[in-house]
Amino acid sequence: MTNHPFEHLLHQVYTQGERRTDRTGTGTRSLFAPDPLRYDLRDRRIPLITSKAVPWKMALREFMWMLSGSTNVDDLRKSSPAMAAIWDNWAVNGSIGPTYGAQYRDAGGSLWITPPEHFGSGLEHPGSGAGVDQVREVVIRLVERPDSRRALISLWSVAALRDMTLEPCMVLFQFSLRGPNYDELHLHVYQRSADMMLGVPFDLFQAGFLAHAVARELALSTGRPIEATSLTWSAGDVHIYENQLEPVKLQLTQWAHAEPERATIVIDRFPSLRLLDGTLEPGHVNIHNYNPEPAIQGGPIAV
């Protein structure tokens, strides 16, 4: 696999992207449906780009907040005030509505029927029936049928979109156990909208973490070794905001002398620490062999 796949795509969007208007009014350079990025996850490797430093602890805390099922930014603030401050741009009374966390862990059970201005006011009403814990469902499906083609998480809940303060960017995750012993976990992610400068470095890391965390859950559930093997990331609209062009130029300059990507993830082996019940926490995860170029201020977030 080509090293630095992210940077190749970043350069392609920068040099070949079509100038387009966008929801935020900022303007972008955009490509649609470029070739997928592919990452080898064997031997605990994880996608962390090296052309600039990615604050992986911040990305991990954000993602584990989502995977906890929470949709309240104040819960995120307990572990990452800086990340919560970003989410404050979309939250209403602390709530982001039935988006990320609700869809991961309670899909169909958190359909809000009150206007967005009432989020967090106590006027929300859950939909009829209990929701579906999609993360747990993936694990169950793969434990019961290792050859399953139905181990998917979909965050694009059409009925709930109108009540989300921000629709999910990564919208579909398909897991597949491969190999003669069904012990190699592959993950394919589809992202509808991909902010290359600020969002995608986080997204790639988070998708890689999810692959490793689900492989760990499968190993603990079955009592046999199962390893995350590959991540395929594909996207629809891949873009750079016009106010990010100078930071992108700097990142492409740093890429010229960036180290190969060889970061690895270490998740605490203690078997009682589980993703599914929330006992696995950010402090139980560490990253080794990560030596990136300096951090780059990516410019203001397009809201």
- Which tokens go with 127? 């939909």
Spatial distance between the Cα atoms of 226 and 209, rounded to a whole number of angstroms: 15
- Which tokens go with 42? 């064997």
Is residue 122's pLDDT more than 70? no
- What CATH number has the domain spanning 5-117+125-288? 3.30.572.10
Radius of gyration over every alpha carbon of the chain, rounded to an integer in angstroms: 19
Who's near 273: CB < 8 A, 6+ residues apart? 279, 280, 281, 284
**Of the candidates 16, 56, 52, 30, the residue with the CA atom closest to the CA atom of residue 302:** 30
Q: For residue range 163-195, what is the model confidence (pLDDT) as tens digits?
A: 999 999 999 999 999 999 999 999 999 999 999
> What percent of the chain stands above pLDDT 70?
93
| Confidence at residue 130, expressed as pLDDT on a 0 to 100 scale | 77
- Sign for the CA dihedral angle at 110, 82, 240, 21 comes to positive
Which residues are paired to 231 by β-bridges?
A: 39, 187
Supply the residues annotated as catalytic: 169
CA angle centred on 171, ends 168 and 173, rounded to 5°:
140
- Residue 231 identity (one-letter amino acid): L
- Which tokens go with 50? 């090296």
- Unique residue bearing structure tokens 């994880």: 46
Query: pTM here?
Result: 0.93
- Residue 278 identity (one-letter amino acid): G
Helix, strand, coil in percent for the chain, rounding step 5: 35, 20, 45
Pairing label, strands 184-195, 170-178? antiparallel
| Confidence at residue 302, expressed as pLDDT on a 0 to 100 scale | 74
The H-assigned helical ranges of 183-291 are 200-222, 245-255
Q: For residue range 191-224, what is the model confidence (pLDDT) as tens digits?
A: 999 999 999 999 999 999 999 999 999 999 999 9
Do the beta carbons of residue 134 and residue 107 sit within 8 Å?
yes
Helix (H) or strand (E) holding 191: strand 184-195
> What percent of the chain stands above pLDDT 90?
87
Spatial distance between the Cα atoms of 258 and 293, rounded to a whole number of angstroms: 6
Spatial distance between the Cα atoms of 111 and 125, rounded to a whole number of angstroms: 7
Spatial distance between the Cα atoms of 132 and 102, rounded to a whole number of angstroms: 9
- Which tokens go with 156? 């694009």
Do the beta carbons of residue 92 and residue 128 sit within 8 Å?
no
- In this prediction, residues 63-89 reach a mean pLDDT of 96
**Of the candidates 259, 265, 195, the residue with the CA atom closest to the CA atom of residue 51:** 259
At 299, is the secondary structure helix, strand, or coil?
A: coil
Is residue 231's pLDDT more than 90? yes
| Confidence at residue 252, expressed as pLDDT on a 0 to 100 scale | 97
